């Protein structure tokens, strides 16, 4: 069984943002949302020991993914190969998973009101291609592969000391690793620590999930179908307006 992971080589990354735009292009990610990101920090430190670093991030496809636990409908799930994906058919756009994610890797696409996030380009990978961000990277700073294969480049880099963005408070087994030989990664960990996952409270479950589902159930009747149809129509129009 495969276990997909990615290594970001911070020594190579030049903060060019190509990965971000390639992802936007391949998945029609609407501005200003993103599935992956490069956050540049201003140079900091004390002369002559100044550092300029960027946080290159994406969904960490965590082993113990809080988003999977938080999702009330089972739309977000972890595949056998480790990739965390969203089944758009099951997603109700409640947004609970967004609050559960320690890395800010999810957003609701305003065009279909479903949650979207990085899926490691699993369709491309299945076709034998690299993820779009890896393929375009002009510094060859992104390495994708199978952690369960000890011969893979990612396995070797992890064995060589690539690190995860985890803290004493939050460690949910992320599968994005950072390679850094200049002591730059502590700056990233300090500036962008993983957030403590906000798991759904009973009240939130009621307002965001159970109540909408109740209406969906009513939608089983003829009247409900008509209402849903009308809602659909209305939504379709508002999309065009945008």
Partner 1 sequence: MANKISRRSFLKIGGTVGTGVAVGLSTSSSKTKAAVKKNPQKVEKIPSVCEQCFWRCGIIATVEDGVLKNIEGNPLNPNNRGRICARGNAGVALLYETDRLKNPMIRSGERGSGKWKEVSWEQALDYTAEKLLAVTKKYGVEANALFSHASSGEHFNNLYNYWGSPNQAAPSFAQCRGSQEVGFELTFGENIGSPERVDLANAKVITLIGSHLGENVHTGQLLDFTEGIAKGAKVITVDPRFSTAAGKSKWWLPIKPGTDTALLLAWINEIIKQKGYDQKFVRDNTVGFSDLTEHVKDFTPEWAEKITEIPANMIRETAKAMMDAKPAVVIHPGRHVAWYGNDVQRERAISILVALLGTWGQKGGYFLKSAFPYSYNALNIPDSPVSKRQRVDGAGYKYPFGSVEEGLTQELVKATISQKPYPIKSWLTVAQNVLNSIPNQADTKKAIDNLDFFGVVEVRPTEPTWYADVVLPEDIYLERYDSLFTVTGWHKPYVALRQPVVKRVHNTRPGWWIVKELGKRLGLSAFYPYNEFEDVLKYQLKDSGISYTKLQKEGVVTFPGKQYLNPGESYAFKTADKKVHLYSKELKDLGFDPLPKYEPVNDPPKGYFRLLYGRMPVHTQGDTESNPWLNTLISEPHLWINETIARSMGLENKDEVNLENQDGMKTDKLKIMITPGMRPDAVFFPHGFGGNDKGLLNFGRGRVSDNILITKYNVDPISGSTGLRVNFVRLIKDDKILSPTVEVSFTGVNAKMNSGVQQVDQNRTFNIQPKKKASAIREGC
> In the complex, which residues of this chain contact partner 1 (CB under 8 A)?
9, 11-12, 14-18, 20-22, 24-26, 28-32, 38-48, 50-55, 110-111, 132, 135-141, 186-187, 190-192, 239-240, 242
Rounded to whole angstroms, how far apart are CA atoms 118 and 132?
11
Q: How far is the CB of 157 from partner 1 (least distance, A)?
A: 12
Q: How far is the CB of 159 from partner 1 (least distance, A)?
A: 18
Rounded to whole angstroms, how far apart are CA atoms 46 and 190?
17
Q: Closest Cα partner for 9 from 49, 54, 42, 41?
A: 54
Give the nearer residue to partner 1 in terms of CB position, either 211 or 235: 235
- CA quadruple 115, 116, 120, 124: dihedral, nearest 10: 120
> Within 10 A of 242 (CB to CB), how many other CB atoms are there?
7
Strands (E), the chain: 4-9, 36-40, 44-46, 49-51, 54-58, 76-78, 84-86, 107-109, 114-116, 142-146, 163-164, 176-179
Give the nearer residue to partner 1 in terms of CB position, either 92 or 179: 179
Give the nearer residue to partner 1 in terms of CB position, either 15 or 208: 15
Q: How far is the CB of 224 from partner 1 (least distance, A)?
A: 27
Q: How far is the CB of 240 from partner 1 (least distance, A)?
A: 6
Q: How far is the CB of 214 from partner 1 (least distance, A)?
A: 30
What is the DSSP annotation of 71-136?
Answer: -SSS-EEE-TTS-EEE-TTT-----HHHHH-TT---EEETTTTEEE---TTHHHHHTTPPPHHHHH
Give the nearer residue to partner 1 in terms of CB position, either 49 or 80: 49
Give the nearer residue to partner 1 in terms of CB position, either 51 or 211: 51
Q: How far is the CB of 20 from partner 1 (least distance, A)?
A: 7
Give the nearer residue to partner 1 in terms of CB position, either 185 or 204: 185
């Amino acid at each position: 069984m495969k276990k997909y992971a990615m290594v970001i080589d911070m020594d190579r990354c030049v903060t060019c943002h190509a990965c971000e735009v390639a992802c936007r292009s391949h998945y029609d990610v609407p501005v200003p949302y993103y599935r992956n990101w490069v956050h540049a920090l201003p140079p900091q430190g004390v002369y002559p020991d100044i550092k300029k670093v960027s946080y290159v991030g994406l969904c960490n496809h965590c082993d113990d993914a809080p988003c999977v636990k938080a999702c009330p409908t089972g739309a977000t799930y972890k595949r056998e190969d480790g990739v965390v994906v969203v089944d758009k058919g099951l997603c109700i756009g409640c947004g609970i998973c967004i609050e559960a994610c320690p890395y800010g890797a999810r957003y609701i696409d305003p065009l279909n009101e479903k949650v979207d996030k990085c899926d490691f380009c699993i369709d491309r990978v299945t076709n034998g291609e690299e993820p779009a961000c890896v393929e375009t990277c002009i510094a060859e700073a992104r390495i994708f592969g199978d952690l369960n294969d000890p011969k893979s480049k990612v396995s070797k880099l992890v064995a060589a000391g690539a690190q995860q963005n985890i803290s004493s408070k939050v460690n949910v087994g992320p599968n994005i690793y950072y390679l850094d030989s200049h002591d730059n990664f502590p700056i990233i960990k300090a500036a962008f620590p993983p957030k403590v996952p906000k798991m759904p409270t009973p009240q939130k479950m009621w307002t965001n999930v159970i109540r909408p589902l109740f209406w969906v159930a009513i939608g089983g009747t003829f009247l409900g179908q008509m209402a849903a149809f009308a809602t659909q129509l209305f939504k379709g129009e508002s999309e065009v307006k945008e």
